[in-house]
Amino acid sequence: MAAAQAGDSVAYRALLEDVQPLLRAVLRRWFRDPEDLRDAVQETLVTLHRARHTYDPSRPFEHWLAALARYTAADLLRHRMRRAAREVAFELPRESPVAADAGEVADLVRALGRLPPAQREAFAMLKLEGLSLAQAAARAGTSVGALKVRAHRAYKAIKAVLGR
Q: Is the pTM of this model over 0.75?
A: no
Question: How many Å apart are CA 104 and CA 99, to the nearest integer?
Answer: 10
Residue-wise pLDDT for 75-110, tens only, equals 999 998 888 888 777 777 776 666 667 777 788 888
Residue-wise pLDDT for 16-65, tens only, equals 999 999 999 999 999 999 999 999 999 999 999 998 888 888 899 899 99
Domains of the chain: 2-86 (1.10.1740.10), 102-162 (1.10.10.10)
